[in-house]
Chains A and B, each alone.
Chain A
Amino acid sequence: MSEITPELVRHLAGLARILVSDEEVEQFTKQLSVIADSVAHVSKAIDADTPSTSHPIAMANVFREDVVEPSLSQAEALSGAPDSAEGRFKVNAILDEE
């Protein structure tokens, strides 16, 4: 049985910075339970000695020469921002007032 509960879905959505409605919590709890149950058997396929693969084609560290190349201008970098001021991204307060 899956351990996905409505509280867990709310917690995960909070970590992922997604506001969820009660309706969504109910739907996601059901769907994620089914998905989590159906993928849980991956742990049966492996043992402690099986190495992990994080990348399909292994490459050593990739470097390039440290030379200055053309890059986006400040104006271009800000061109898609919802709000900017004085050449910077502008955001709301990070902390609550209290």
Chain B
Amino acid sequence: MTDLIRKTASELAALISSGEVSSVEVTRAHLDRSEAVDGAVHSYLYQNPESSLIAAAEADRARAAGEVSSPLAGVPIAVKDNLTTTDAPTTSGSKILEGWQPPYDATVVKKLRAAGMPILGKTNLDEFAMGSSTEFSAYGPSKNPWDLTRIPGGSGGGSSSVVASFQAPLAIGSDTGGSIRFPGAVTGTVGTKPTYGAVSRYGLVALASSLDQIGPVARNVLDAAMLQDVIAGHDPHDSTSLPESLGSMTAAAKKLDVKGMRFGVINQLAGEGFQPGVAARFKESLNLLSAAGAEIVEVDCPSFEYAIAAYYLILPAEASSNLAKFDSVRFGMRVEPGENATIERVMAATREAGFGPEVKRRIILGTYALSSGSYDKFYGAALKVRTLIQRDFDAAFAKADILVSPTAPTTAFKFGEKIDDPIAMYLNDIATIPANLAGIPGISVPNGLAEEDSLPVGIQLLAPAREDARLYQAGAWLERAHEEIWGKRMIDFAPELEVK
């Protein structure tokens, strides 16, 4: 059973489809793994083994009856706890939603169920996805399986650590400024932020609606591609959902060819100021691509200098509005600050008790950015910077098919290192944020280990909107090139976790 958990999702799908193993066996193996290691890793906020096994048994019944639901039928998956689920509470990592049982499934969750994929549990995140380390989860941080004293990235540190610790072959994440890609980079796993609108956001607890995008988390590029194919597609419940199909990501991931592709190195994100091991591995990958017949060009994105600033105005502004719904009336916590308190005082007391410090900080900042007198200088200016960043990308993509950079400036940092310094925490996102501002797709792929600390490094690939397939094509090629050099998969360098 232990080797079942180390298999990729595509391998598991083949074994299940041929009848060699059942979905129940695969699901049980992963539940057993969680029993053994999640006390230490803390990827999950909620699991209900019985309901996972019922879904697995149903997948086995459907297969036996000849009903094919999807290429990933029977393969279990973990879901970030900011997606609504009718059979599990949804907290978004916040006390204000503790124990909340949604009355509907998110569209992505519905699609997973229809694809015959048993849900293993709900994964941890920074409260309302605000953070880069899971240290802002109201339920305690998740740990990095490579080193339990280090962060697994955030906000989706539950989803990255759950696949990196072999508790699930796949997971769902959400990416507002890097919350899928940064955790992928620091845990040696793969994470994609699809084109804005490629995957429905219906049922996602909104952080910043113009930036949020749901996407796949996996241990290899092909698995991520297969998962994107399952969850993508138009949804009438999301008015920003793209009407057109973006084609097969799975087919793109199987091409394994980069010859003639033009890779643009963004001067502003070319490794200067990055940890030496991160910069060194990045340069090596450029050499690999070049040796394989790809063209490497330099591109200039001068407005990226303003990207973090614009992001940390737009995000809090949108979040302050989105989080107004947590008002002690329709769902979640209600705190009575005394006899006969008015609704306004109840709201203020509830939000004081229910929100953590980072959420309060960002709501207050967003309220400031939107307030009269500050609007033009802050929020209004940030929206204009967004146009400049899109123009930079347009110019860059005229010269290159794919843009490349390190995913993050450093490898996984230690708990507590940046928690009291919001600016230092925000700088983790320097390479990932521009894609959210422009709505374009990005992927982080394992890019070797940094020499100085033997921790995983990620390389980020970016493509024009709707060209997600390019990321999977080039990402799968890079992944294979690295496996050939290192002799095994990057994730297989992770130390064995102590099993309870």
A residues near B (Cβ < 8 Å) are 4, 8-9, 12-20, 24, 27-28, 31-32, 34-36, 38-43, 45-46, 50-57, 59, 62, 64, 72, 76-77, 79-83, 89, 91-97
Distance A42 CA – B423 CA, assembled complex (angstroms) = 16
Q: What are 29 residue pairs bridging A and B, where the CB atoms are less than 8 Å apart in the complex?
A: A8-B368, A9-B364, A13-B360, A15-B367, A16-B324, A17-B351, A18-B363, A28-B361, A35-B423, A36-B378, A39-B308, A40-B309, A40-B377, A43-B378, A43-B381, A46-B384, A52-B383, A52-B384, A52-B386, A56-B211, A57-B195, A57-B240, A81-B330, A82-B329, A82-B331, A91-B328, A91-B346, A92-B341, A92-B342
Indicate whether A79 sits within 8 Å of B367 (C-beta atoms), given known contacts A18-B351, A28-B361, A91-B329: no
Q: Among the listed A12, A45, A56, A91, which residue makes an inter-chain contact with B210, where contact means beta carbons less than 8 Å apart? A: A56
Choose one: A19, A92, A97; the contact of B343 (CB below 8 Å): A92
Residues of the A chain whose Cβ atoms lie less than 8 Å from the Cβ of B423 = 34-35, 38
In the complex, are the beta carbons of A42 and B385 less than 8 A apart? yes
On chain A, the residues within 8 Å of B227 by CB distance are: none
Do A15 and B343 have beta carbons less than 8 Å apart? no
Known A80-B103, A81-B330; judge A17-B439 contact (CB<8 A).
no
Q: A45–B303 contact, CB under 8 A? A: yes
Is B125 engaged at the interface, CB distance under 8 Å to the other chain? no
CB neighbours of B367 from chain A (8 A): 12, 15-16
* Sample of 18 more A-B contacts, CB < 8 Å, known A42-B313, A53-B383, A54-B210: A15-B371, A18-B352, A18-B360, A32-B368, A35-B365, A42-B310, A43-B378, A43-B381, A45-B385, A46-B381, A46-B388, A50-B388, A54-B386, A82-B332, A83-B334, A91-B328, A92-B341, A93-B340
A8, closest chain B residue (CB)? B368
Interchain CA distance A59-B196 in the complex, whole Å: 12
- Tell yes or no: B322 within 8 A of A by CB: no
Closest Cβ–Cβ distance, residue B130 to chain A (whole Å): 13
Task: Check A18 against B384 for contact (C-beta < 8 Å).
Answer: no
B contact residues around A52 at 8 Å (CB):
380, 383-384, 386-387
Q: Known contacts A15-B367, A20-B352: does B465 contact A57 (CB below 8 Å)?
A: yes
Question: Which residue in chain A gives the minimum CB-CB distance to B314?
Answer: A54
The verdict on A17 contacting B242 (CB below 8 Å), with A38-B423, A42-B309, A53-B383 known, is no
Q: CB distance B364 to A45 under 8 Å?
A: no
Interface residues of B in 329-355 (CB under 8 A from A): 329-334, 336-337, 340-344, 346-349, 351-352, 355
B residues within 8 A CB of A51?
384, 387
A57-B197 contact, Cβ under 8 Å, with A28-B364, A82-B328: yes
| A96–chain B nearest beta-carbon distance, Å | 6
Per a CB cutoff under 8 Å, which of B236, B331, B343, B364 touches A18?
B364
> What is the bound-complex CA distance between A31 and B327, given in angstroms?
25
A39 and B336 alpha carbons, distance in the complex (Å): 37
CA distance A62 to B239 in the complex (A): 6
> Is the C-beta of B91 less than 8 angstroms from some C-beta in chain A?
no
Chain A nearest CB: distance from B166 CB in Å? 34
Binding site for A on B (CB under 8 A): 100-104, 195-197, 210-211, 236, 239-240, 242, 303, 305-306, 308-310, 312-313, 320, 324, 327-334, 336-337, 340-344, 346-349, 351-352, 355, 357, 360-361, 363-365, 367-368, 371, 377-378, 380-388, 390, 422-423, 436-440, 465
**Which one of A43, A45, A83 contacts B377 once the chains associate, using CB atoms below 8 Å?**
A43
Identify which of A9, A13, A35, A82 contacts B312 (C-beta below 8 A): A35
Interface of A is mostly: loop
Residue of A nearest to B97 (CB): A80
Which of A17, A56, A89 has a CB less than 8 Å from the CB of B438? Answer: A56
Question: What residues of chain B lie closer than 8 Å to A12, measured between beta carbons?
Answer: 364, 367-368, 371
Q: Are A53 and B387 in contact (CB under 8 A)?
A: yes
Q: Which residues of B contact A39 (CB under 8 A)?
A: 308-310, 312-313, 378, 382
B364 touching A91, Cβ below 8 Å:
no
Q: Tell me whether A17 and B331 are in contact in the complex, defined as CB-CB below 8 angstroms, given that A57-B196, A79-B101 are known contacts.
A: no
User: How many whole Å from A9's CB to the nearest CB in chain B?
Assistant: 6
Cβ-closest chain B residue relative to A55: B210
CB of A70, distance to nearest CB on chain B (Å): 10
Q: Closest 5 CB pairs between A and B?
A: A56-B439, A80-B331, A82-B334, A19-B352, A52-B383
Q: Report the bound CA distance from A89 to B54 in whole Å.
A: 35
Q: How far is the CA of A17 from the CA of B374 in the complex (A)?
A: 19
Contacts of A28 in B (CB 8 A): 360-361, 364
**Whole-angstrom CA separation of A49 from B427 in the bound complex:** 29
Point out the residues of chain B lying under 8 angstroms from A56, CB to CB.
Answer: 196, 210-211, 386, 390, 436-440, 465
**Smallest beta-carbon distance A95→chain B, Å:** 7
B332 near A80 (CB under 8 angstroms)? Answer: yes
Contacts of A40 in B (CB 8 A): 309, 377-378
Chain A residue contacts of B240, Cβ below 8 A? 55, 57, 59, 62
Query: Closest residue to A4 on the B side, CB-wise?
Result: B368
> Residues of A contacting B386 with CB < 8 Å?
52-54, 56
> Contacts A46-B384, A56-B439, A89-B329; is A31 near B351 (CB within 8 Å)?
no
